[in-house]
Amino acid sequence: MIRKIDDRGLALCKFQASIFEHSLDKINSSSSYFIKSFMNSPVAVQIDNDGFIFEPENTESIFEKLKAEYKFGRGSEKYTPDSLFWMGYVFRYWCYTYQIRSKAVYRIIQADEMNSLYLPYHTLDPAIAIRRILEAKNITVERDPLESLRKAYSAEL
Mean pLDDT of 60-82: 89
Give every CB contact of residue 41 below 8 A, 6+ residues apart in sequence.
65, 66, 69, 70
Residue 144 has pLDDT above 60, yes or no: no
- Show contacts of 8-13: CB within 8 Å, 24+ apart: 8/50, 8/53, 9/92, 9/93, 9/96, 9/97, 11/53, 12/47, 12/50, 12/52, 12/53, 12/92, 12/96, 13/88, 13/89, 13/92, 13/93, 13/96, 13/126
Q: By percentage, how much of the chain surpasses pLDDT 90?
A: 67
Check: CB of residue 97 under 8 Å from CB of residue 5: yes
At 73 the pLDDT is 82
Q: What is the pTM of this model?
A: 0.87
pLDDT digits (tens, 9 = 90+) for 46-69: 999 876 665 656 778 889 889 888
Span of 47-61, 63-77, 136-150 with lowest mean pLDDT: 136-150
pLDDT digits (tens, 9 = 90+) for 115-132: 999 999 999 999 999 999
> Quick one: pLDDT band at residue 142, thresholds 50, 70, 90?
low
Mean pLDDT of 68-81: 89
CA distance 151 to 80: 34
> Quick one: pLDDT band at residue 143, thresholds 50, 70, 90?
low
How many CB atoms lie under 10 A from the CB of residue 11?
14
